[in-house]
Amino acid sequence: MYDAKKIVPGILIFVVLFTFPLWSNLGKAAPAPKPELPTTEKVCVMDTAYMKTEHMVLLNQWRDLVVRDANRLWVGPDGREHFMSLQNSCMKCHSSKVKFCDQCHTYAGVTPYCWQCHIEPKENM
């Protein structure tokens, strides 16, 4: 191999630099988010597993159902009826955006633009 003296250290340096974020964070993982659940209600409009992964899909669906098709009520899997509204339903139970929404959103580094129009509960204003 030509220039092994340069190439091997070069590769080594590259590998070290490339994996820097991995080993520099070793052992100090960011704490898992702890969204605070409402005390007033036990069940959401869908089951917890679904809400965890699909709430954004559901919110999009709600938006179309309400704004475009004039529906207002959502019948959950348990047969209970809910008013479809981010501001007037979701945030009634999850009354703190900071302690609920922001927990995971900050952790995951996402900034949903819902709040550019929809008004969050008073605490943050």
Partner 1 sequence: MEKDRREFLKIGGISVLGLSALPVFQALAQQQGPRYKPDPNALQGAQWAMVVDMEKCWEEQEKRQCKDCILACHKTHNVPDIPDPKREIKWIWLEEYKHAFPDQAHEYAPQKVKESPFMLLCNHCTNPPCVRVCPTKATFKRAQDGIVMMDFHRCIGCRYCMAGCPYGARSFNWGDPRPYLKTEEINMTYPTRRKGVVEKCTFCYERIDEGLQPACVEACKAKALIFGDVTDPNSEVRKILSDHYSLRRKVELGTGPNVYYLI
Under the binding rule (CB under 8 A), the answer on residue 52 touching partner 1 is no
Under the binding rule (CB under 8 A), the answer on residue 49 touching partner 1 is no
Least gap, CB of 53 to partner 1 (angstroms)? 16
Among 51, 67, 112, 124, interactor with partner 1 by CB under 8 A: 67
Q: How far is the C-alpha of 88 from the C-alpha of 120, rounded, in Å?
A: 10
Identify which of residues 23 and 113 has a Cβ nearer to partner 1 in the complex.
Answer: 113
Among 19, 48, 88, 111, interactor with partner 1 by CB under 8 A: 88
Among 70, 108, 109, 110, interactor with partner 1 by CB under 8 A: 70
DSSP 86: I
Q: Are 58 and 46 in contact (CB under 8 A)?
A: yes
What is the C-alpha R_g of the chain? 23
Q: Which amino acid appears at position 30 of this protein?
A: A
Q: Are 115 and 48 in contact (CB under 8 A)?
A: no
Candidate ranges 14-22, 23-31, 61-69, 96-104; the one touching partner 1 (CB under 8 A) = 61-69
Give the CA angle between residues 70, 73, 77 to the nearest 5°. 135
Identify which of residues 92 and 105 has a Cβ nearer to partner 1 in the complex.
Answer: 92
Identify which of residues 3 and 78 has a Cβ nearer to partner 1 in the complex.
Answer: 78
Q: Token pair of 13, please?
A: 């340096």
